[in-house]
Amino acid sequence: MPQTFDLLLRGGAVVDHNGVGLRDIGVTAGKIAAIGQLGGASAAETIEVSGLTILPGVIDTQVHFREPGLTHKEDLETGSRAAVLGGVTAVFEMPNTNPLTTSAEALADKVSRAHHRMHCDFAFWVGGTADNVDQIPELERLPGAAGIKVFMGSSTGSLLVEDDAGVEAILRQTRRRAAFHSEDEPRLNERKHLRVENDPASHPVWRDEIAALKSTQRLIRIARSCGALVHVLHVSTGEEIEFLAGHKDLASVEVTPHHLTLSADDYARLGTKLQMNPPVRDKRHRETIWRGVAESVADILGSDHAPHTLEEKAKPYPQSPSGMTGVQTLVPIMLDHVAAGRLTIERFVDLTSAGPARLFGIAGKGRIAVGYDADFTIVDLKREAVIEDRWIGSRCGWTPYDGKHVTGWPVGTIVRGARVMWEGEIAAPATGEAVRFWQALG
Ligand code: DOR
């Protein structure tokens, strides 16, 4: 009996835990059903992918999609549209919306807004605060919860836990790995006078490397005393990479495409578009973060997609808000680094699929394996293209990479067996569902 599938991907170069090889993939009921030479098989839909490379679906574990409350910048539909246009199959969204995602009701509201309205799968970080600390054990296990996120330094929105006692109270409650925005709030307050009116290049002077390192050292000391697992988001300094290398037993590390690609030299060209927390810094940091990628101190890549409108970004610094888009450009920007020989395609997959699955215990995603969700990011490693604002699906419609020439491009996005994006077009109705996690099953 010839095998039959719902979907057959034929002739692609598949990157999985066996390495890179020409393999067909058969999909049934949204899950991977067979991998190998499936020449005799038939399927309801066959996609010829010879010449293309099939990666496990890219999971972006840090995005801000602004719904509810700030939907003039983005919403769950537009943010997820940008995600799948860029080859991303699942996102973890941040809690600094309005209302804040700090209660079971706020989380359930986001999950119901997202269900079958988002184009990719999703989970939501729940904000940890002094007020909800007693509820953390229940909150972090609710359907759709990615875990607990804490801001140790203030950024967009009002979430903040600036003192050691507050961080400790949260880490005494968490069982899952909690994520931290790590900048030392007292130091940020002391240094506010260093911001220079109309000069975004003073942003990294104000929010300096010591503010980031000091906060991360405090966090690790507290995590160790509590025996808690922590995840340090968007590491922006060489000093933190070197420090965190000594704490890999309990701390995981996220790095971002912008800290790996841009540098303080770009403030002159990009102005407030480059303004981000933690800041893009001088090249010395970028080089050490790359070493962190090469030596695997970095576990995962997150985009920290943080859209603000061009009008908002046009306000004079420091009234201008911090944040830039990134979910749609993560794949092409990083494939361009692959083409330039700065990382291998296997390392990219480790950072964007296997890494998130390992750190956060994602059930059935992050690997091309029979029985796993049929989530694929299909790319052309050789295609040359120019990233342009008009390609951006985000409501705010801009990218700091406008005009950048890249080699490597996302051609298709498949989520649980549905072809949701193909050659730059949304190709199926939105059927995004909540990601499931081992520690919250049942
Ligand atoms: O630059 C940033 N913008 N960093 C953050 O941590 C928050 C984000 C936002 O939500 O705008």
pLDDT at residue 300, rounded to an integer:
98
58-360 belongs to which homologous superfamily?
Metal-dependent hydrolases (3.20.20.140)
Q: What separation in Å is there between the alpha carbon of 427 and the centre of ligand 1?
A: 31
- CB count within 10 Å of CB 165 equals 9
64 lines ligand 1 (CB under 6 A): yes
Segments of the chain with pLDDT less than 50: none
pLDDT at residue 442, rounded to an integer:
63
What is the CATH code of the structural domain delimited by 4-54+370-426? 2.30.40.10
Residue nearest (by alpha carbon) to ligand 1 atom 3: 323
304 catalytic per annotation = yes
185: left (phi over 0), alpha (psi -120 to 50) or beta: alpha
Q: Which two tokens stand for residue 147?
A: 């875990």
Domain segments of the chain as ranges: 4-54+370-426, 58-360
pLDDT tens digits, one per residue of 346-385: 999 999 999 999 999 999 999 999 999 999 999 999 999 9
Q: What separation in Å is there between the alpha carbon of 101 and the centre of ligand 1?
A: 15
Residue 43: beta bridge partners? 5
**How many residues would you count in the chain?**
442
276 lines ligand 1 (CB under 6 A): yes
- Return the exposure string of 401-427: e unless at least 16 CB atoms fall within 10 Å of the residue's CB, then b: bbebebbbbbbbbbbbbbbbbeeeeeb
Of 240, 394, 256, residue with least CA distance to 328 = 394
Element of type H or E holding 132? none
Q: Do domains 4-54+370-426 and 58-360 have the same CATH topology?
A: no
β-strand 376-387 against 53-56: which pairing, if any? antiparallel
Q: Name the 3-class secondary structure at 79.
A: helix
Strand stretches in 311-438, DSSP E = 376-387, 404-415, 418-422, 425-426
272 lines ligand 1 (CB under 6 A): no
306 lines ligand 1 (CB under 6 A): yes
Q: Which residue among the candidates 121, 304, 350, 375 is catalytic per the annotation?
A: 304
329 lines ligand 1 (CB under 6 A): no
Kindly list the distances between the CA atom of residue 407 and the CA atoms of 8, 273, 336, 381, 385, in Å, as whole numbers in the listed order.
27, 23, 5, 7, 6
pLDDT at residue 2, rounded to an integer:
79
Which DSSP symbol is given to 215? H
User: What span, in angstroms and rounded, lies between the C-alpha atoms of 253 and 251?
Assistant: 7
Q: Which two tokens stand for residue 19?
A: 């390495």
pLDDT at residue 1, rounded to an integer:
66
